[in-house]
Amino acid sequence: HVDGLRVDAVASMLYLDYSRNEGEWIPNAYGGRENLDAIMFLRQLNEAVYGEFPDVTTIAEESTSWPMVSRPTYIGGLGFGFKWDMGWMHDTLAYLERDSIHRQWHHGEITFRSVYAASEHFVLPLSHDEVVHGKGSLLGKMPGDDWQRFANLRLLFAMQWAQPGKKLLFMGCELATPSEWNHESTLDWSLHDADGHRGVRTWLADINHLYASEPALHRGDSDPGGIQWVEGSDAAQSVYAWMRKDPTGESRPVLAVFNATPTPRHNYRLGVPQGGRWAELANSDADGYGGSGVGNFGGVDTVPVDSHGFQQSIVLSLPPLGALFLAPEPTP
């Protein structure tokens, strides 16, 4: 049984001039650079797959701005179920690979995705391409001492899980291996319960559970109403905050907050859409993950102080190189 098909290097099929110099390619019948035969083939492929097996998916690894890759063929799309968001992968990794003191100058690498996030059905990939050919492992890319590298890696996964889009993690990345993937050897299972590595694996398990149990985190992945920025301009402190929302309105919102520096941020005020107590659902800096234990004692109460366009706000302690997930507790 095959769950779906991933088509590699779709951009090289769509463009006649892909990786070709002037004079090395022939324009199409209309004088353009689009490969009309390839476009027809990809549409027919997706129509055939979904026509025979409507419960599977097809995914395009497509790295350009070609429109409607994951839209139906009957409205002019290519018909794929999903498209890899290569821009998110490159921007986020480039941001987190920098030493934290320099991140304030590259704040837009995290916020830019909101410009196009709802234009396709996206998959957020951390794929094999990023952990081979001398690029190093995900843990190896992270700056700082050992504690900071593990904290940065947990922060990376938190950002991935909090963003709209489906999640793709290459095998073994949950082990936080220090060396890149080697197809000649097995995964280093000796790291499964090693200090630091166990914390990353446990953090992934916990945010997986959170992702499945909180509809706001997985509904509306391709809906502009599925995310609302709360704080996107605090470059000086490298803090981000956004609200994941259920477009159906049936479930509670989830506030995701990130501190991309090793400096804890105490008394940090953020506006929220409703009053009451906001529970701390997950904290990547918790002791159980190998963190320093900076947090909010399980939750915080709102105060009637305007902030970020809301009439209610909460005051948080933001952990170093950490991520928080919060949601309003049900009212009695």
Contact 310, 272 (CB under 8 A): yes
- Please say if 250 is a catalytic residue: no
Q: In the chain, how long is the greatest CA-to-CA distance?
A: 72
- What strands lie across the sheet with 254-259, from one edge to the other? 227-234, 239-244, 254-259, 322-328, 277-283, 299-301
Q: Would you say 271 and 307 are in contact if contact means Cβ atoms under 8 Å apart?
A: yes
Q: What is the 3-state secondary structure (H, E, C) of the chain?
A: CCCEEEECCHHHHHECCCCCCCCCCCCCCCCCCECHHHHHHHHHHHHHHHHHCCCCEEEECCCCCCCCCCCCHHHCCCCCCEEECHHHHHHHHHHHHCCHHHHHHHCHHHHHHHHCCCCCCEEEEECHHHHCCCCCCHHHHCCCCHHHHHHHHHHHHHHHHHCCCEEEECCCHHHCCCCCCCCCCCCCHHHCCCCCHHHHHHHHHHHHHHHHHCHHHCCCCCCHHHEEEEEEEECCCCEEEEEECCCCCCCCCEEEEEECCCCCEEEEEEEECCCCEEEEEEECCCHHHCCCCCCCCCEEECECCCECCECEEEEEEECCCEEEEEEECCCC
Q: Which of 8, 37, 99, 146 is catalytic?
A: 8
Determine which one of 3, 47, 61, 250 is catalytic: 61
Determine whether 8 is an active site residue.
yes
Catalytic residues: 8, 61
